[in-house]
Each structure stands twice: as structure tokens, then as C-alpha cells.
Amino acid sequence: MSVQSSTFHASKQPAQRKPLALAERIAGIVKYTVLILLAVSFVMPFYWMFSSALKNDAQVYVAPPIWFPSPAFWNNFADAWTSQPFTQYMLNTLFLYAIPYTLATTLSSAIVAYGFSRIQWKWRDTLFYVCLATMMVPFQVQMVPLFMIFKKLHWINSFLPLVVPALFGSPYYIFMLRQFFRTIPSELSDAARIDGASEFDILWRIMLPLSRPALTVVSLLAFIGAWNDYLGPLIYVHDQSKFVLALGVESLRRTFTFNSTIANAYPHLMAVSTLVVLPIIIIFFFGQRVFIEGISMTGLKE
């Protein structure tokens, strides 16, 4: 009797596995179909911008739209880039704004986050909550008072109002790094203190090397924010020789808007926009592994 029952169960198991395997296969197909559709929806705007940059006016203003330009006008990129001093705008964006802002924000946020996560002092948690509460104040409320302060300091028409505040950290990045620091075992810091290491040594030699994924996330987000920033430079930078790329693209758009006789105006605008967006896509493509790792590991410990 036991032999018959075991034979019956053995013959029943393959029959049960078939519906489960079929259900898993269907679920996998649905999952990847949804992911492909989402990927296409995200890539489509960039492709349309890129394809429009390869057209002329005759190909742009037609219906139905042309998805594959023929012929493709690759010279639109060079013509659009040289129509204004975009090389100077790129250098201003990199060396006067994006890189200094990224370094200042990452370093200062890490120092403040270390103080909120590893050092015991009175009112620490209260001040941390106050720091988070500043995120609720919109920039539109701060805009006029900050402009008046920087005007009194004679910082207008420079990048100081954009870079110097980064030396005091960003509440969002402080929160991210604090949560990541709390996932690192405190025994490492205690052992370093026993060996005579100062708090700065612990931060520089232990915490920061172990927090490379989180620091990469903060640096990438800060760099993207500075690279795409339009409102800040619009408020504080007035001379065209100090324009950043966002102001340069807007200047090009205004030129085409008020002078409708310019040939290939829309393709040139799309060409410059493509060149401005491309470095961010490349950076994220090569850093996505560390970026995703840093996001997934942040906030695991309360």
C-alpha cells in the first residue's frame, strides 16, 4: 500500500509542476513586457530630440512625423554649437559651478552627517529634525531674501551665491549619508578611538572609504542638479560671458523665437539640447551600478 501511494505521489508531482512553470513563464513575459514598454517610453523623448537634430525645416514641419531623417544633417550639431559660445558655457558650467558645487556639497554633507550619526552630543536629534524641516521651505520663499543678502555682499554676477551655500551641506544629502553611516558597524569607530584616532581620522580613513556607494549617489545627484540648474544662474549671473549651458540653451531659443527667418532653428535647438543632455546620460550609464547600490543600501538601519 505504501509503495502504491508513493508511486501515486511521484506521478502527481510532475503534473503539478507544469502549471507552476507555465504561470512563472507567463509572469516573466508580462514583467519584461512592462519593463520594455517603460524603457521605450523613457527613451522615446531623447530619440525624438536626437532625430529632430538631424533634420532640416522641411522634415520637421510635416505630418505624419518623420522618425528616420533621410538625409541626416549631421552638420547641425557643429553649426548649432558654434552659433553661440557654447564651449565657454560648458567650461563655466563645469569648472565654475558643477564641479565646485559637487565637491563642496559632498564633503560638507558627509561631515555634518557624521556628526549626526556617530558623535553623541546634546540636542543632536532635535537639530537633525530641524535640518530636515528646512527641506519643507520652498526655494520661492528664500529667493528674494537670499538675493538681498548676496547683493549686500556684492556677490551678484558671480558664482559665489551658487557655490558658497554648498559648503554648509544639503539637508537631503545629509539625511542620505546619515542613514548610510548608521549601517556601518560602530565597533570600527570604537576600535579606531581606542587606537588614538580623532573623529576626523575616523571619518576620513574609515567612514568615507566604506561609504563610497552613498558618496557616489550624492556626487552624481549634486552634479546633475548643478549641470541642469537654470533658475540659480538666471538670478545671479548677468554677463553673457559667464552663462552656463542652461542659460545658453535658453538664449538660443529666444534668438530663434524672435527671429523666425533663421534656417533650421528647431533642429539646431534640438542639436544643442542633445549635446547638453548626453554627458549626463553617459555618466549615469557608467555609474549606474554604484548608483543603484548606494540607493538600495541607504536607510537600511533606523
236: cell is 545671479
250: cell is 535658453
Give residue-wise pLDDT tens across range 275-299: 999 998 888 888 777 767 666 665 4
CATH fold of the domain at 76-297: MetI-like fold (1.10.3720)
At 163 the pLDDT is: 96
For the chain, the domains span 2-53, 76-297
Q: How far apart are CA 107 and CA 189, in angstroms?
A: 19
Give residue-wise pLDDT tens across range 43-66: 999 999 999 999 998 898 888 888
What are the residue ranges in the chain where pLDDT is below 50?
A: 1, 8, 299-302
At 63 the pLDDT is: 84
* Dihedral of the alpha carbons of 13, 18, 24, 28, in degrees to the nearest 10: 150
At 302 the pLDDT is: 47
184, 210 in Cβ contact below 8 A? yes
137, 215 in Cβ contact below 8 A? no
At 229 the pLDDT is: 95
Q: Nearest Cα to 211, choosing from 140, 91, 119, 294?
A: 294
How much is the pTM?
A: 0.85
